[in-house]
Amino acid sequence: MKRLTGAQAWYGTAETCPDLQYLSGFAAVDPALLVAHRKRAVLIVPAMEVSRANRAARSARMRVYVHSPAGIVPADRARASRPEDWIIAAMNKLGAREVAVPADFPVGIALALRRKGVKMTVADAGLVPSRRTKTPAEVRKIAEVQRATAAAMCAAVKTIAASESGPGGKLRYAGRPLTAEAIKQTIERELATRRCQASRTIVACGNQAADPHETGHGPLRAGQAIVIDIFPRHRESGYWGDMTRTVARGPVAGKLKQLYAAVLAAQRAALAMVKAGAAVRSIHRAAARIMEQHGWPTEIRNNRRVGFIHGTGHGVGLEIHEAPSLRDAPGRLRAGDVITIEPGLYYPGLGGVRIEDTVLVTREGYKMLASCPKRFEV
Amino acid sequence: MKRLTGAQAWYGTAETCPDLQYLSGFAAVDPALLVAHRKRAVLIVPAMEVSRANRAARSARMRVYVHSPAGIVPADRARASRPEDWIIAAMNKLGAREVAVPADFPVGIALALRRKGVKMTVADAGLVPSRRTKTPAEVRKIAEVQRATAAAMCAAVKTIAASESGPGGKLRYAGRPLTAEAIKQTIERELATRRCQASRTIVACGNQAADPHETGHGPLRAGQAIVIDIFPRHRESGYWGDMTRTVARGPVAGKLKQLYAAVLAAQRAALAMVKAGAAVRSIHRAAARIMEQHGWPTEIRNNRRVGFIHGTGHGVGLEIHEAPSLRDAPGRLRAGDVITIEPGLYYPGLGGVRIEDTVLVTREGYKMLASCPKRFEV
């Protein structure tokens, strides 16, 4: 962003605009508007949210004045007023003459501001760079979610480990077929008791696991890799956790064991490289190289990319995917980053393996926020 | 929107851009881009999502061509390409020369399109007006969520009804203090068994309930109104449900009973007015008038609005709040609308009451999608 003399504006809910929650302390259900200038900000929320927002703003990172739309524009114009009018009123109140908005700001409001003569610029990068570096209080919140994630993972793995192979290799548990849906339910119940919830838990078995974003469905089978990826959000704090394990209810073919061993070696090597100052590109390339050296290439087969087809990790905070991104790109880790390390290999016909932990980057290396055993055959 | 000859573009996830899911069938985890022109569309998703998107697009409302970013722009330019380049490539593929975007489209991409010489306009209203009118298949999906909502509500009410008043009027259940958090957990567990999840369930007791968006916390007390508002989303279909009940573990003061009776009368009257062609304003005004006639005014007290301080209802579909909005505004109900009817009254010091159902608007009146008893003292 070029101009720091003007105000900055955000628009959205706790889901769509984590910066707004980060700065104001307020988890908006309906879209809210935040206009900040130096250390002061105006937060505009629906009338019925004003008192809740006022309470939340007490712990904000700046002095926040909460208003309803009718409370910020002159009474006679309140009814027909629109978000651009509220922003202009807030800018006047804060003494700002121009405004910068993030790239994902709604184009409709942004262009309406320009039509009203406001100098509006779009920030090149995020307006809140400090969100990447977590405070100790934030790390505690992420660790709390990650402990819940680990507990849910343990419950899931325990159930699979206690299952038996039935007709056609389909797993059975407590006298009934064991499905991806049943394991997801186990996970969600465990998370619910810890004030967390996950919306797209992955329990993908066999060929389903070869597609890293297939969430998985139907019967789980013996001898196949089952990828379990749990990324819940805490209901109150809004922070996320993220963990993946891959297990199989044995016996497992040698080839699948080798696939697992390659990913585990890559994850260990990548974790060992994590520390403040490390180049994200070298971590990503090291993970890729180790899996390649184990005999698992990344390439196009039948018009589809197979092998290590995603990045090595990403930042975790008020967004499940945030800076930094660990891939073949410039940039270095910093102390205070909370990141995942999650190499994976995917081959249709054979299956998929991914192993993921969420760690705090420190000057010396990293701190694991919570863990759970890495055992393939259970 | 003025121009229907050009393409239309959407950008977002299943959470942020329901239109994209509605048109393409694809529930995007990471932001996806959809460019539609007449009955054909290009859907651009991360490389690892291509196969899942292709499967989802089979049930789309138009012919959808799925691409990764690298698959839509020339190979030599793929790495440095950005969303605006993908949109231009998709427009070329579809034979479109200009593009309209919704008002909430990211300003960064929109202005980048203009800088590249693309004629880009912002639509005044939504680009998918048909989303408001639900097909029978959609109504079935919403009804499925609403049945889960009703089951969760029944479980919550049953627990409160089975509780006992302990020291200081605090409710106790199974030998322990009964809290808002415990009831939320009961609700979330019930929803989880039905493939639904709610992120901001309200269980607000006493003065907490006077703030309609306070989600509630801490001990529940005898003799106070407890507002329970459950609005879950189905994990697979993406459709929402919405239901509110207010209960009290008796005995209850006469004034609180009168508050409940007023809201119940308003809800009954509003429901009785629901049918295709009814003006939303007259329904809202009728609900407000009835509560006023019962002696409950809407006014400012101590700088805060009290009484009936929100609308009478809203559409429900792939968004929890969508068209139509039932408030003091123009517009009429249509057959195929799925709406809530949810009058409420809020007075700090006394408490709050809200009663809400989700119904399908028909030519003759409405069809309740699922229900649960309306009993105040339990």
Q: Are residues A243 and A339 in the same domain?
A: yes
The pLDDT of A147-160, averaged and rounded, is 98
Q: Are residues B212 and B80 in the same domain?
A: no
Within an 8 Å CB–CB cutoff, is residue A150 touching chain B? no
Tokens 């939303």 correspond to B280
Query: What count of CB pairs under 8 Å joins A to B?
Result: 104
Given B70, B104, B131, which residue is the final one in a domain?
A: B131
- Measured between CA atoms, how close is B361 to chain A, in angstroms? 25
Contact, A99 vs A35, CB < 8 A?
yes
| Cα–Cα distance measured from residue A128 to residue B308, given in angstroms and rounded to the nearest whole number | 38
Tell me the percentage of chain A whose pLDDT exceeds 90: 78
Identify which of B75, B102, B110, B117 has the alpha carbon closest to the alpha carbon of residue B18: B102
Q: Are residues B310 and B240 in the same domain?
A: yes
| Cα–Cα distance measured from residue A312 to residue A291, given in angstroms and rounded to the nearest whole number | 12
Residue type, A59: S
Looking at B15-49, list the stretches that DSSP marks H as alpha helix, in order from N- to C-terminal side. Answer: 18-24
Of the ranges A154-158, A228-232, B55-59, B117-121, which one carries the lowest mean pLDDT score? B55-59
Q: Are residues B80 and B188 in the same domain?
A: no
| Cα–Cα distance measured from residue B296 to residue B250, given in angstroms and rounded to the nearest whole number | 22
Given A78, A100, A131, which residue is the final one in a domain?
A: A131
Identify which of A99, A94, A141 has the alpha carbon closest to the alpha carbon of residue A120: A99
Structure tokens of A121? 């610029």
- Comparing alpha-carbon positions, the chain A residue that sits nearest to B123 is A108
Pairing of strands B40-44, B63-67: parallel
Encode pLDDT of B6-62 as tens digits.
Answer: 899 999 998 889 999 999 999 888 899 999 998 899 999 988 789 889 999 998 889
- Comparing alpha-carbon positions, the chain B residue that sits nearest to A232 is B199
Contact, B179 vs B219, CB < 8 A?
yes
Which residues in chain A are closer than 8 Å to B188, comparing Cβ atoms? 192, 197
pLDDT for the residue numbered B3: 43
pLDDT for the residue numbered B84: 96
To test the contact with chain A by mutation, choose from B54, B104, B109, B301 the residue with the greatest count of A C-beta atoms within 10 A, namely B104
Give the confidence band of B162 by pLDDT, cuts at 50, 70, 90: very high
Structure tokens of A149? 């994630």
Question: Residue A351's domain spans which residues?
Answer: 136-368
| Reduced 3-state DSSP string for chain A | CCCCCCEEEEEECCCCCHHHHHHHCCCCCCCEEEEEECCEEEEECCHHHHHHHHHHHCCCCCEEEEECHHHHCCHHHCCCCCHHHHHHHHHHHHCCCEEEECCCCEHHHHHHHHHCCCEEEECCCCCCHHHCCCCHHHHHHHHHHHHHHHHHHHHHHHHHHCCEECHHHEEEECCEECEHHHHHHHHHHHHHCCCEEECCCEEEEHHHHHCCCCCCCCECECCCCEEEEECEEECCCCCECCEEEEEECCCCCHHHHHHHHHHHHHHHHHHHHCCCCCEHHHHHHHHHHHHHHCCCCCEEECCEEEECCCCCEEECCCCCCEEEEECCCCCECCCCCEEEECCEEEECCCEEEECEEEEEECCCCEEECCCCCCCCEC
Give the nearest partner residue to B29 out of A52, A108, A213, using CB atoms: A213
Encode pLDDT of A85-143 as tens digits.
Answer: 999 999 999 999 999 999 999 999 999 999 999 999 998 766 676 789 999 999 999 99
Q: How far is CA B40 from the centre of its chain?
A: 29
Structure tokens of A128? 């809140």
- The answer on pLDDT for B87 being more than 70 is yes
- Asked if A213 and B52 come within 8 Å (Cβ–Cβ), the reply is yes
pLDDT for the residue numbered A30: 85
The pLDDT of A65-85, averaged and rounded, is 87
Encode pLDDT of B270-306 as tens digits.
Answer: 999 999 999 999 999 999 999 999 999 999 998 888 9
Within an 8 Å CB–CB cutoff, is residue B130 touching chain A? no
**Mean pLDDT for chain B?**
93
- Asked if A197 and B181 come within 8 Å (Cβ–Cβ), the reply is no
| Cα–Cα distance measured from residue A340 to residue A345, given in angstroms and rounded to the nearest whole number | 16
Q: How far is CA B218 from the centre of its chain?
A: 26
Q: What are phi and psi of B237, to 5 degrees?
A: -75, -30
Domain membership of residue B111 (yes or no) is yes
Radius of gyration of chain B (CA): 24
pLDDT for the residue numbered B268: 98
Domain membership of residue A271 (yes or no) is yes
- Measured between CA atoms, how close is A69 to chain B, in angstroms? 13
Which residues in chain B are closer than 8 Å to A107, comparing Cβ atoms? 101, 103-107, 110-111, 122
Residues 69-108 of A with CB under 8 A from B: 101-108
Within an 8 Å CB–CB cutoff, is residue B125 touching chain A? no
Q: Are residues A111 and A167 in the same domain?
A: no
To test the contact with chain A by mutation, choose from B66, B107, B314 the residue with the greatest count of A C-beta atoms within 10 A, namely B107
Within an 8 Å CB–CB cutoff, is residue B365 touching chain A? no
Distances in whole angstroms, Cα of residue A178 to Cα of each of A153, A262, B152: 16, 28, 25
CATH number for the domain spanning B364: value is: 3.90.230.10
Q: B69 in helix, strand or coil? A: helix
**Torsion angle (degrees, nearest 10) of CA A51, A56, A60, A66:** -20
Q: B83 in helix, strand or coil? A: helix
Q: Are residues A216 and A146 in the same domain?
A: yes
Cis bond before residue A251 (omega within 30° of 0):
yes
**Torsion angle (degrees, nearest 10) of CA A370, A372, A373, A377:** -150
Domain membership of residue B1 (yes or no) is no
- Asked if B197 and A199 come within 8 Å (Cβ–Cβ), the reply is yes
Residue type, A141: K
pLDDT for the residue numbered A80: 80
pTM: 0.79
Structure tokens of B85? 């380049």
Identify which of B304, B300, B301, B294 has the alpha carbon closest to the alpha carbon of residue B353: B294
pLDDT for the residue numbered B70: 86
Q: How far is CA B373 from the centre of its chain?
A: 22
Domain membership of residue B376 (yes or no) is no
Which residues in chain A are closer than 8 Å to B199, comparing Cβ atoms? 197, 235
Which residues in chain A are closer than 8 Å to B309, comparing Cβ atoms? 47-48
Structure tokens of B157? 């009410």
- Measured between CA atoms, how close is B6 to chain A, in angstroms? 18
Which residues in chain B are closer than 8 Å to A105, comparing Cβ atoms? 106-108
DSSP B357: E
The pLDDT of A213-218, averaged and rounded, is 87
Q: Are residues B159 and B95 in the same domain?
A: no
Rounded to 5 degrees, what angle do the CA atoms A232, A229, A285 make? 115
- Measured between CA atoms, how close is B29 to chain A, in angstroms? 8
pLDDT for the residue numbered A1: 41
Domain count, chain A: 2
Q: Is B255 exposed, middle or buried (0-12, 13-18, 19+ CB in 10 A)?
A: exposed
Total Cβ atoms within 10 A of residue B95: 10
Which residues in chain A are closer than 8 Å to B80, comparing Cβ atoms? none
- Comparing alpha-carbon positions, the chain A residue that sits nearest to B187 is A192
Contact, A123 vs A101, CB < 8 A?
yes
DSSP B234: E
Given A78, A107, A131, which residue is the final one in a domain?
A: A131
| Cα–Cα distance measured from residue A11 to residue A105, given in angstroms and rounded to the nearest whole number | 7
Which residues in chain A are closer than 8 Å to B193, comparing Cβ atoms? 185
To test the contact with chain A by mutation, choose from B68, B213, B347 the residue with the greatest count of A C-beta atoms within 10 A, namely B213
CATH number for the domain spanning B118: value is: 3.40.350.10
Q: Are residues A143 and A112 in the same domain?
A: no
Residue type, B267: Q
Give the confidence band of A14 by pLDDT, cuts at 50, 70, 90: confident
Contact, B280 vs B327, CB < 8 A?
yes
Which of residues A236 and A340 earns the better pLDDT score? A340
Domain membership of residue B249 (yes or no) is yes
DSSP B21: H
Q: Is A75 exposed, middle or buried (0-12, 13-18, 19+ CB in 10 A)?
A: exposed
Is the CA virtual torsion B235, A357, A170, A310 positive or negative?
positive
For A118-132, give one letter per residue: b (16+ CB within 10 A) or e: bebbbbeebbbeebb
| Cα–Cα distance measured from residue B41 to residue B22, given in angstroms and rounded to the nearest whole number | 13
Give the nearest partner residue to B213 out of A52, A101, A103, using CB atoms: A52
Contact, A352 vs A345, CB < 8 A?
yes
Domain membership of residue B49 (yes or no) is yes
Tokens 């109104």 correspond to B225
Which residues in chain B are closer than 8 Å to A199, comparing Cβ atoms? 197, 235
DSSP, residue by residue, B253-303: -HHHHHHHHHHHHHHHHHHHH-STT-BHHHHHHHHHHHHHHTT---EEETT
Q: Are residues A211 and A299 in the same domain?
A: yes
Encode pLDDT of B217-238 as tens digits.
Answer: 999 999 999 999 999 999 888 9
What's the count of helices (H) and strands (E) in chain B, helices before strands?
9, 23
Contact, B203 vs B216, CB < 8 A?
yes
pLDDT for the residue numbered A226: 98
- Measured between CA atoms, how close is B373 to chain A, in angstroms? 26
Structure tokens of A179? 């499905």
DSSP B327: S
Q: Are residues B97 and B243 in the same domain?
A: no
The pLDDT of A162-179, averaged and rounded, is 95
Identify which of A291, A250, A252 has the alpha carbon closest to the alpha carbon of residue A268: A291
- Comparing alpha-carbon positions, the chain B residue that sits nearest to A309 is B48
Within an 8 Å CB–CB cutoff, is residue A5 touching chain B? no
- Asked if B309 and A48 come within 8 Å (Cβ–Cβ), the reply is yes
| Cα–Cα distance measured from residue A315 to residue A131, given in angstroms and rounded to the nearest whole number | 10
pLDDT for the residue numbered A211: 86
pLDDT for the residue numbered B5: 67
- Asked if B122 and A104 come within 8 Å (Cβ–Cβ), the reply is no
Give the nearest partner residue to B106 out of A52, A103, A346, using CB atoms: A103
Within an 8 Å CB–CB cutoff, is residue B164 touching chain A? no
- Comparing alpha-carbon positions, the chain A residue that sits nearest to B55 is A214
Domain membership of residue B377 (yes or no) is no
Residue type, A127: L
Which residues in chain B are closer than 8 Å to A30, comparing Cβ atoms? 321
B223: left (phi over 0), alpha (psi -120 to 50) or beta: left
- Comparing alpha-carbon positions, the chain A residue that sits nearest to B306 is A48
Q: Are residues A172 and A99 in the same domain?
A: no
Structure tokens of A91? 């800018």
Q: Are residues A244 and A347 in the same domain?
A: yes
Domain membership of residue A220 (yes or no) is yes
Within an 8 Å CB–CB cutoff, is residue A48 touching chain B? yes
Within an 8 Å CB–CB cutoff, is residue A300 touching chain B? no
| Cα–Cα distance measured from residue B250 to residue B261, given in angstroms and rounded to the nearest whole number | 15
